[in-house]
A and B are shown apart, each in its own frame.
Chain A
């Protein structure tokens, strides 16, 4: 009964392919995020959704398309994968966007390798 679970944990794919990463949270949170962690371990926010609505898009290429079918799920679809997309992608959730509600809980990450 993992709080924030994402699948798959590892993903190896060729350049140009399209792939999806799924994320589910069972914490009853309203807000979900996608972060990208590069090889230097820098955690960069990509998207934030609140109650299924896109709140933040941090100038991510439009090859990345998040989809939130309901509050508990936030999936990430990536088109035409490039070598530079190789990274660990983390899903996270929080109760909301203010004060104590911003405490975020993270999934275990998806290590994407583009070859």
Chain B
């Protein structure tokens, strides 16, 4: 089945630092989605990407749909404490599958 490899699995950073995470796949996807999950909650959509090469921002978040359609990255600039959580990439092609998640921890 389709698999997404998301890295890094965890990050420990200082408040104010920039963050970068990415997902790669052996399959081509038509859609790349980035979600954030807070403890005890369901994942919430942050950014959606629909075209190869597309670069989209949402506040301090920026994500790109790779040219090959097999990868995507998410950057968070100037991290703040409320950015803590687990970030998931999702790839869509008839179904939505997810990477393993990146757990972000921020030291104040």
Contacts and interface: CB of A to CB of B under 8 A. Distances in A.
Real binding pair: yes
Nearest to A97: B94
Residue of B48, B92, B101 with most partner-chain A CB within 10 A: B92
Contacts, number: 67
A48 B88 contact: no
B41 A109 contact: yes
Interface string B77-107: 0000000001010101011111011010000
A105 B50 CA distance: 17
Nearest to B91: A102
Interface stretch (A13-21, A38-46, A69-77, A78-86): A38-46
A104 B101 contact: no
Contact of B33 (A42, A56, A103, A109): A103
The 9 closest A-B pairs by CB, nearest first: A106-B42, A102-B92, A43-B98, A102-B31, A106-B43, A41-B101, A108-B42, A56-B95, A103-B48
Interface of A: 4, 33, 35, 40-45, 48, 55-56, 58, 90, 92, 94, 97-100, 102-109
